[in-house]
Amino acid sequence: MNRRSKLYPDFPSAIHGIEDGATIGFGGFAMPGVPFNLMQALQHSPARNLTCVANTTGGAALPRMPDIGHLVERGMVRKVICAFTAATRASEQLPFTKYHESGEVEAELVPQGTLAERLRAAGAGIPAFYTPTAVGTELALGRETRIFDGREYLLEPALPLDYAFIRAHRADAAGNLRFRRSQRNFNPIMAMAARIVIAEIENDIEPAGSFDPDDIHLAGIFVHRLVVIPPAPAGLWPQLREPKS
Amino acid sequence: MSGLTRQQMADAIARRFQDDWIVNLGVGIPTMCSNTPITADIIYHSENGVIGYGPLTAPGEEDMHLVNAGGQHVTLKPEAAVVHHADSFAIIRSGRIDVTVMGAYEVAATGDFANWKVAGAKGGGIGGAMDLAACAKRVFIILEHTQRNGAPRLLSHCALPITARGVVKLVATNYGLFEPAGTAFNLVAIAPGITVEQIRAATGAPVHIPDNLSTIAV
């Protein structure tokens, strides 16, 4: 194979070259599938004015793992696009909230299914789509809607990414990925929406041809850089959440 | 608070589930619907793409790759399947969810409800609530009948920003089961030990009482 290897030796080298102003999407939902190691490495990158896309800004559950909130605390973020930008209980506060309320960081709050479909659309070459979600709510104020078969729909733009940081269970040298259980979540669609995809992998990289082509969850053409997660404590792995009081 | 416990409120909703329903449970009290012993053979769907999950895992047996939408470790039933997030919401948006059960801060007689933004907050937590509310075949809500200060949560119109308009079919509170009916709530069944007068005093909209009012079995 004359193609360049996709394998990187460590997390800092895997995230090299991220430009100021880049838009980065992070896979994961709750603990499974979050690229904790890449997110931790990003905290030490010189990149600034980032736009960060993920399900949540993070920090609602303990133990706290690397999240967008950490990047915000380091002054690296201009804007977040998430389905959770504040805690849903009045008695709780996300680490992100004070930076949002002070105006230091902009936030675009997006329904989770709309976020997923905006990413899917970007990955599928579709510039925008109509959805019934959020019609009649504050989120639809002043925005374009259209009636199809008597029902009102809201126009939503695709959400293309410069980079996607993802986590998978297994990879081959061609970058073909397999996820395990609910680890899949946003990871494949974040990847397809992005120009450059960086994946942290939970097992050693397997030779190309190790997977049956029918059993690949994300084709290697969408994956550009692979890095193997070392065992704990050097590598970060999902942990049991502490029960809420 | 008096009347039904949180689990009894969940029980009153779960007993309405029917065979073959695909059910999505929101975080908080709605997740307790899965503790209710019911005979209906249903399939649980979770926003993160897990279809056909079962009871919570026993402590020490958690699979670190597997959680439900509330981040709880669950088991899988033999028919389970996993899809990615866009496909999971394709299931929701295309109307395949038979019922979504959610918590809320407020519910209106119009069928509107509010559960994503608290008063005065700049941000919010929508999660999958707006997609589920707009697209599920039925929206059932579970919430305490009043706020801690006694102010009603069942209102003529929501004061907080709404999650969806005119979608709520059934509401369970610690005082009873209610149907939004436009300008009033219909009381479907009353909690044991609660009076109609208590309900009227604690509700911010008119309440219609049926001639043969049934009591919720607990």
Domains for chain B: give ranges and CATH numbers: 6-215 (3.40.1080.10)
Q: Cβ of A107 and B64 within 8 Å?
A: no
The 10s digit of each residue's pLDDT in B108-117 is: 999 999 999 9
Closest CA to B102 of B67, B72, B73, B131: B131
The residue behind tokens 């329904």 is A111
C-alpha–C-alpha distance, residues B100 and B113, integer Å: 13
**Closest CA of chain A from B192, distance in Å:** 29
Which pLDDT score, from 0 to 100, does residue A245 have?
58
Closest CA to B25 of B54, B60, B59, B5: B54
Binned average pLDDT, 10 residues per bin, chain B of 218 residues: 91 97 95 93 97 95 96 96 98 98 98 95 96 98 97 98 98 98 98 97 98 95
Residues 140-159 of A with CB under 8 A from B: none
C-alpha–C-alpha distance, residues A164 and A122, integer Å: 12
Q: Cβ of B131 and A112 within 8 Å?
A: yes
Place A90 in a pLDDT band, splitting at 50, 70 and 90.
confident
Q: Which residue in the set B82, B93, B115 is minimally distant from A182, CB to CB? A: B82
Q: What six digits make up the tokens of A214? A: 């029918």
Active-site positions of B read: 47
Query: What residues in A contact B73, CB-CB < 8 Å?
Result: 240
Q: Which fold has domain A21-109+160-227?
A: Glutaconate Coenzyme A-transferase (3.40.1080)
Query: What residues in B contact A236, CB-CB < 8 Å?
Result: none
Q: Cβ of A32 and B66 within 8 Å?
A: yes
Q: Which residue in the set A32, A187, A188 is minimally distant from B67, CB to CB? A: A32
Do A96 and A85 touch, CB atoms closer than 8 A?
Answer: yes
3-state secondary structure A172-228: ECCCCEECCHHHCCCHHHHHHHEEEEEEEECCCCECCCCCCHHHCCECHHHCCEEEE
DSSP tag of A64: -
Query: What residues in A contact B88, CB-CB < 8 Å?
Result: 113, 116
Q: Cβ of B86 and A117 within 8 Å?
A: yes
Q: Cβ of B48 and A31 within 8 Å?
A: no
Share of chain A above pLDDT 90, in %: 92
Peptide bond into A63 cis (omega under 30): yes
Q: Helix B85-93 and helix A112-123: axis angle, to 10°?
A: 120
Q: What six digits make up the tokens of B121? A: 């907050």
**pTM for the structure as a whole:** 0.97
In chain B, which residue's Cα lies nearest the Cα of A29?
A: B48
Which pLDDT score, from 0 to 100, does residue A33 have?
98
**Closest CA of chain B from A33, distance in Å:** 8
Query: What does pLDDT average to over chain A?
Result: 96
Which pLDDT score, from 0 to 100, does residue B153 have?
98
Closest CA to A208 of A191, A197, A199, A221: A221
Query: What residues in A contact B89, CB-CB < 8 Å?
Result: 112-113, 116-117
Which pLDDT score, from 0 to 100, does residue A1 have?
56
Helix (H, G, I), strand (E, B) or coil at A38: helix
The 10s digit of each residue's pLDDT in B41-66 is: 999 999 999 999 999 999 999 999 99
Listed by start position, the domains of chain A span 21-109+160-227
Helix (H, G, I), strand (E, B) or coil at B170: strand
Q: Cβ of B126 and A183 within 8 Å?
A: no
Mean pLDDT lowest for which of A89-93, A174-178, A213-217, B21-25?
A: A89-93
CB proximity A137 to B under 8 Å: yes
In chain B, which residue's Cα lies nearest the Cα of A113?
A: B89
Task: Tell me how crowded residue A157 is: count the other CB atoms within 10 A of its CB.
Answer: 12
Query: What residues in B contact A61, CB-CB < 8 Å?
Result: 71
The residues, any chain, with a CB within 8 Å of residue A107's CB and separated by 6 or more, are A57, A79, A80, A81, A82, A85, A96, A100, B122, B123
Residues 61-90 of A with CB under 8 A from B: 61, 83-88, 90
Q: Cβ of B89 and A188 within 8 Å?
A: no
Mutate to test the interface with A, among B84, B94, B162 (most CBs of A within 10 A): B84
